[in-house]
Structures are given as C-alpha cells and as structure tokens.
Structure 1
Amino acid sequence: MDALLDAEFGIYLAVFLAVVLLVEGIFLFYRDIVGPRQRVSRRMELLSQGASNAEIMESLRRQMPDNTNALLPSLMEFVETRMTQAGMRMRSATMATIMMVTTLTVGIIFPIIGGISGQLTSPLAFILVIVFAIAIGVVLPMSYINIQAVKRMRLFEKQFPIGLDIFVRGLRAGYPVPSALELLVSEVPDPLSSEFGLVLAEMNYGYNLRDALSNLADRVRTQDMQMFVVSVAIQSETGGSLADILEGLSRVIRDRAQMVLKVNALASEGKMTGTLLTALPLLTFAFMFATQPRFYLDVIDDPWFLPGVVGMAVMYFLGVFIMRKLITIKV
C-alpha cells in the first residue's frame, strides 16, 4: 500500500515538475525570442529587407474603406477606428463578416449540442439564444479589440513625450525635419516607431508634413497628438522655432500625464468596482446559459419572465450609465 502511494506521489510530482518546466520554457521563449521581435520597429525591419517607401506604406498602413454605404455606417466607423488603434490590419468589413458568421454558427449549433433544441418552442427562447450568440460572436471580439486598442494607445501616449524629446534634440542638432523623424523612428520602439515611420514614409512619398501628421492624428485620435498636430500647423503658418514649441509641448504633455496618473490613482477603486459590476452580470449569464441553459428555458414561459428581464435590463443599463458618469473624470 505504501509503495502504491509512493508511486502515485512520484507520478503527481513528475507531472507538477513537467508543468512548471513547460510554463518556464514558454516564459523564457516569449521573453528572449518573441518579445524582442515584437519590440523591433516594423518599419526598420522592412527597411532592412530593402523595402521601398510604397511597400512600407502598404505594409504599415491599414486600408481605410468607405463605410458611408454600409448597413450601419457609424458602427462600422467605430469598429474601423478601434481596429486602427489596436494595430490590426484586417478590414472592418472582414471583421464584421467573421463576427456575423460566428454569431450564426453559435446560434445554430449551440441548441443542437446543448440538447435544448426541443425547448425552443417560444419566441422568447429564440431571443434568449440570439442574445447568447451575439454575446459570443460580437461582444467578445469587440471587447478584445477594445482592450488591445486601449493597451496600444496607452503605450503610445507613454512613449510620445520621449519621442518628442528625441525629435527636438534632432532639430536642435541641425537636422532637417525628415532626418529628425528618422532619428525618432530609429530610437523609439513600437507602436510610436511604426506610426511615425508611416509619417516619414508618406513624406518621402510626396505628402507634406501637415498632411502626414493629420493622417497620424486620424489614426491615433489622442489629445496629445491633436495638440502636436495643431502646434506644427501653427508653426508652419506663423513661423518661429519648431524645437522651442515642441519642447514646451513636451513639458505640457508630461505635466498632464502626471495629473492623469494622480486622478487615475484616486479613481482606481471606483473604476475597478464599476468594471466588475458591469462585467459580472454578463459573464454570469453567459456562463449559466452555456452550462445550464435549462435554468432559463424552464421558466421562460412564465408570465413574469419577460417583465422581469426587461426591468432587469433597464436597471442594469441605468446603473452602468450612472457608474460611468461617476468614475469618468476628464483632465
């Protein structure tokens, strides 16, 4: 008996050590190989491969489709903006198609796999399945895109004052604007490097500085970038030292960033509470419906089910609206 327990303990210990070594190996692989590759500027990598300016623009720049003829133009424009900020090169129409196909697939296959197709005998049951399918096919991808966009834009805003300082030092050293931008691109990692690398590629392709920076502001859409573009536009119209203007702008951006960090620290508890209270009801519904769909379907024909759901939805969205108003502090 003791020998059997010792053998079982040895097996568990071996499995535990194997898992630990596997996790450590994945971490070391990401840290030493994948991480440095991701930090290398995409533009510098293309230049090392001998790519031309047109090829660099084609690789770095997303194709911006015309969404005016789309079924929901404002929604497609929002998806396009968030995908651009997330650094995704996929077209918004392709993403919308993928989300639609995923939603239809979940809506058709889930009742069959879950064994609840026989209970879909009322319109409310179909609506419940549709809501679940939309949550899986639309809400989850959009949440991922939004998280990636916020993460990338925060990193961009963190790198932006450093990039401005490098750009100013290049101008004070006597470099022309394209050479100072080239210095910025070579010294700063992504995403700032790739975005300004695209500005440089557009200038080499024939754009003037104002148009190239305006395109950058349209892609990024941050307040710091808007101030930068306006400063460059005013300097090009009125003259003066661009280095002095951008040096002052860099100080303003750093002071504003410090104030934002203080405000975020003070409001962090409220934001975390709001995030949890917003996400938990949706996650609970998705989990319960995916694992125990009869929890809802067995009572869906009750006359109080629909009024209860409508009232709960109204209170949920009202609560989310109030929480966002309470924790959103503009600086």
Structure 2
Amino acid sequence: MRVIEIAGGSGPAEALTVSERPDPVAGPGQIRIRIRAAGVNRPDLLQRRGHYPPPPGAPDILGLEVAGEVDQIGPGVDRWSVGDRVCALLGGGGYADHAVVDARHALPIPEGLDFVQAAALPETVCTVFANVFEAGGLKAGETLLIHGATSGIGVTAIQMAKAAGARVVATSRGADKAAAARALGADLSLDARTDDLEAAITAFGGVDVVLDMVGADYAALNQAVLKPFGRWVVIATLSGAKAEIDLMQVMLKRIVLTGSTLRARPADEKARLIAAVQAVAWPWVASGALRPPVEATFPLEQAAAAHLRLEAGDHVGKIVLTA
C-alpha cells in the first residue's frame, strides 16, 4: 500500500514522501479500513517536526482520523461486516491506503455523508466532546467561548455547542473569519485583531466555558470573562505554554482550569468516548446539525501541500486527504 513517510527535515516538502509498505492485517478485535479520506490535523504538523511522537504501539505514519470501507475483519469482531462504511479514530496510520484500528474506535457513516465529510469528524468531534462537554461540562443555556473558532476544532465546537442548546462566543483572526464563525452559528463573533475582546465578551454577559487553543496570550482574558464556577479547558498552546494565573481570580470565581490530550488515551478509554459520541453527538451528524465545513482536499501524494495549507492558517474548517 502507499503511505506517506516522514523522511527527515521539518518542512513538509522535505519531510513527507510517498512510499510503499506491506498491507496491514487486522488482528484480534481489529478491523482493516480501505481508506478513502483522511483528516489533516495540527498534531500531524507537530509529529512531522519531531515534537509529537506516536504513543507506544501506534504506527509511525501520520493521520488520526479516516473514513472508508471495512475490508477485513479480525478475530472476535462481530459489530462490523466487510463493506461497511465507517470513520474511525486512530493513534496513527491515516496517511495511507489501508489502516487497522480497534473495532471499538470506529463509527458508522450516517446516510448522506460522503467519505470526505466523514473523515473530518472523528478526531475533532471526540476532542470537542471530551473537552467541552465532559471536562467543561457545558450545558444547555450556558455560554461557550471558543478561541481559534474557524479551525477544524473550532467549527466543530460551534456546531456541537449550538446543537446542545448553548450560546457561542467566537474569536478568530480577521473580519472574514469572524463572518465565517457567525455564519456557522456563533452568537457573538469577534475579530481578535481589531475588537476589544474583554469589553465585548463582558458586555455579552461573560462565559461559562472556555475552549482554549491559544494558550498564554489569552490567559488574562479567560480569567477576566469567565463567570463564577467557570471552566477553562486548554487543548493547545499556539501562543506559548507558560502563562500567569491570578490565583485570587481563581478563588473568587471558583474557576476550574483543566486540559487534556486525546491520542495517548488508553484503548478502553477511547472506546468509552466513541460510544458516548455515538450516543450524544452522532444524532446531530445524522440530522445535519453537525457538518463541519471542509476547506480543501488534496490527493494523498500531495500531503505536503495539505500541511502547507494548514500551516498558513488561512483556512476555515477542515483539510482532508483523499486516497
């Protein structure tokens, strides 16, 4: 099968090369997927640069989410059949023609979704569900603040929060991105380059949960706009990992600060999360309430171009490889 390998160097053109490896074989409890599309995510960029190694037992191939057809069933699997259309959460291996995955980590593709749309879902939906709804405890009637609202995670979080009956405050860079977040359902969409974020969010009434992909630069803002008993969930640190925390604000507002990663979670925990996503969020997908936009697609052999597009930061929504 074709795979994209990391050959060395940090730039995508130098680092990513097309190679061939033997087709993987589904083992006990696994299925093999003939990959038709694979999501491109920021952790892929970090791994390419040598900063995010795969967890033990995961393939060294990039790619954390795929969609395609089941073409092989391992021993002990009775949930899936050959030919089933599925998308799946991977620890790695998505930039290829085939991938094997724990059968519990796959989800059925709802009617009406093509493989490209489906490949944009597993990593992002699981990340949002685990952090906004489980760690952040977002409830109907509350307000979610999303930084980086037009990223793949951001556009998914907007739609999931609205589907759950919450209000959304979005921040993004530039008027066009602010307009895109508003079109996706954000109740208040702010341009981080020109708007007074703290004043605008405070006038809106503050927020109950922050989904923070920026990190250090927004630490003071988050503390200022969170309501009492607010939850601040960190999932990326694009502006830096070290921030100043006003402990008096934490005490007076009873703020909870937490964060997480997804890739290194144990297989059983991922299976629990997938089951929860299927029960709660998959009906939103089936109804059309949750359809993250796909900014661009690239053939598998153009993975370097896909990385360049993601690194540029001008996209709205997901970038997907097609195989």
TM-score (normalised: structure 2): 0.20
TM-score (normalised: structure 1): 0.19
- Structure (1 or 2) with the larger CA radius of gyration: 1
Considering fraction of residues, name the structure with more helix: 1
